[in-house]
Structure 1
Amino acid sequence: MSNPTIAKRYAAALFDVASANGLLNTVEDELRVVKEVFQSNPGLAAVLKSPKLAAEKKKALLQSSFAGASTYVQNLLMVLSDRHREEIIPEVADQFIELSNSAKGLAEAKVYSVKPLSDAQKEALSLAFAPKVGKTALRIENITDSNLLGGVKLRIGNRIFDGSLRGKLDRLERRLLG
């Protein structure tokens, strides 16, 4: 069984428990923090993979690192540690966030722009593009990219909407050369 399949099963189990207890937003926020900690500290994953570190010490490290998390998130981390699946913790967080967004009618979107977007601009983009992907709203992460020259480029899942000046120039060049 591949890691995405395994991660999806753990995420689905946690999603069921969190939604049954009305803690969907809390658990999602905590898993975002867990994912961020793993992404910003690649050494943590390396330490947890190490066969030299005893299982009890790995669990103690996870418990101390995420002491402020709910019992559901801590239990998930302990189960993954017991089953030697520490490397899929960020993937489980991604799968859980995807399930949570789907239940709320949200989609994650990366918006590339020349300068940071205001809240009003983010809201306008959300209202314009959410229906195009069958969602009610977008959770926007704004990334500044000076190579765009102007306009915006959106990435929602595996779909890209390119309204940037750089994209328009590239399309014009391909048309003229082709």
Structure 2
Amino acid sequence: MALSREEIAARYGAALFGYAQDMKVLDPMFSQLQELKKAIEENPAIVGVLSDPILNKDEKKKTLEAIEKDFSDEIQGFLNLLLEYDRFEYIIPIIDRFDDFYDQEKLIASGTATTAVKLDDDQLKRLGDSYAKKYHLNAVRLENQVDPSILGGVILQVKDRVIDGSVKNKLKKIRAQLIDEN
């Protein structure tokens, strides 16, 4: 029975995370994986070439050597393992799973702050820091989404928790309260 994309990503991501912990290179590996992910997202053809069944292993190996030369031995070993077992097409989901384990270990959360107007980086950082302090996290990375329909305030979604402090929501509550009183 073939493994699904999610199962492959979970297994390889967990194995890579465990290996990084054992080798005591968790933080440097995290940083390098972020660089690698960014490079792959900017040049998606890399994955296509390295997972192409028509190309032989030697051609793929030469291509990979050009890419991996600036990375640590641990990352190089990981990339060669993916190439050897024909799992290169799963590299982004594997890195994402590694990131999930890393965030869990370091008590870091990611989320979305929906506002009526765009927030600057400092505002996002202060909002994330405030949330992190309240919920005993080390950090919260927030992405800003703009939705003018909320009128003002902020809707903060981190993991499965949503805090709706939007003006639209407050007006809806006031309206419901006025209707109930009549």
Mapped partners of 2:162, 2:61: distance in 1: 40
| TM-score in terms of structure 2 length | 0.77
TM-fit CA distance, 1:49 = 2.8
Cα distance in 1 between the residues matched to 2:167 and 2:68: 44
CA distance in 1, matches of 2:144, 2:123: 16
Question: What is the one-letter code of the residue matched to 1:35?
Answer: K
Aligned CA distance change for structure 1 residues 162 and 11 (closer, same or farther; 3 Å): same
Q: Structure 2: how far apart are the matches of 1:67 and 1:45?
A: 17
- Cα deviation, residue 10, structure 1: 1.5
Partner of 1:64: 66
Q: How does 1:156-175 map to 2 (within 5 A)?
A: 156-165=158-167
User: 5+ unaligned residues in a row in structure 2: which ranges?
Assistant: none
User: Corresponding residue for 1:93?
Assistant: 95
In terms of mean alpha carbon deviation, does 147-156 or 89-98 score higher? 147-156
Aligned-pair CA distance for 1:140:
1.3
- Mark the CA change 1:51 to 1:109 in structure 2 (over 3 Å): closer, same or farther: same
Q: Following superposition of structure 1 onto structure 2, how do residues 137-156 of structure 1 map, counting pairs within 5 Å?
A: 137-145=138-146, 147=148, 148-156=150-158
* Secondary structure of the corresponding residue to residue 68 of structure 1: coil
Tell me which amino acid in the other structure corresponds to 1:50: D
SS in 2 for 1:150: coil
Answering whether residue 168 of structure 2 is matched by residue 136 of structure 1, we say: no
TM, length-normalised to structure 1 = 0.78
Partner of 2:51: 49
Over 3 Å counting, the alpha-carbon distance change for 1:14 and 1:52 in structure 2 is: same
1:116 aligned to which of 116, 119, 122:
119
Contact preservation (8 Å) 2:157, 2:163: yes
Pick closer, same or farther for the CA change 1:89–1:166 going to 2, 3 Å: farther
Q: Which has the larger radius of gyration?
A: 2
Query: Percent same amino acid among aligned pairs?
Result: 29
1:107–1:130 CA contact under 8 A, matched in 2: no
Residues 51, 126 of structure 1: alpha-carbon distance in 2 compared, 3 angstrom cutoff: same
- Deviation (angstroms), 1:167: 5.7
**Post-superposition offset of 1:100:** 1.1
Contact 2:124–2:142, Cα closer than 8 Å, also in 1: no
CA contact (8 A) 2:128 2:140 kept: no
Judged with a 3 Å threshold, the aligned counterparts in structure 2 of structure 1 residues 18 and 151 are, in CA distance, closer, same or farther, namely: same
Cα RMSD for the two superposed structures: 3.0
1:125 is matched with 128
In the alignment, what sits opposite 2:4?
Answer: 2
- The 3 A distance-change label for structure 1 pair 138 and 161 is farther
Shift of 1:84: 0.8
| Distance change (3 Å), C-alpha of 1:121 and 1:32 | closer
Per the TM alignment, residue 168 of structure 1 is displaced from its structure 2 partner at its CA by: 5.5
Taking the TM superposition and a 5 Å limit, the aligned residue runs for 1:9-28 are 9-28=11-30
Q: Which amino acid aligns with 2:83?
A: S
Q: Which amino acid aligns with 2:33?
A: L
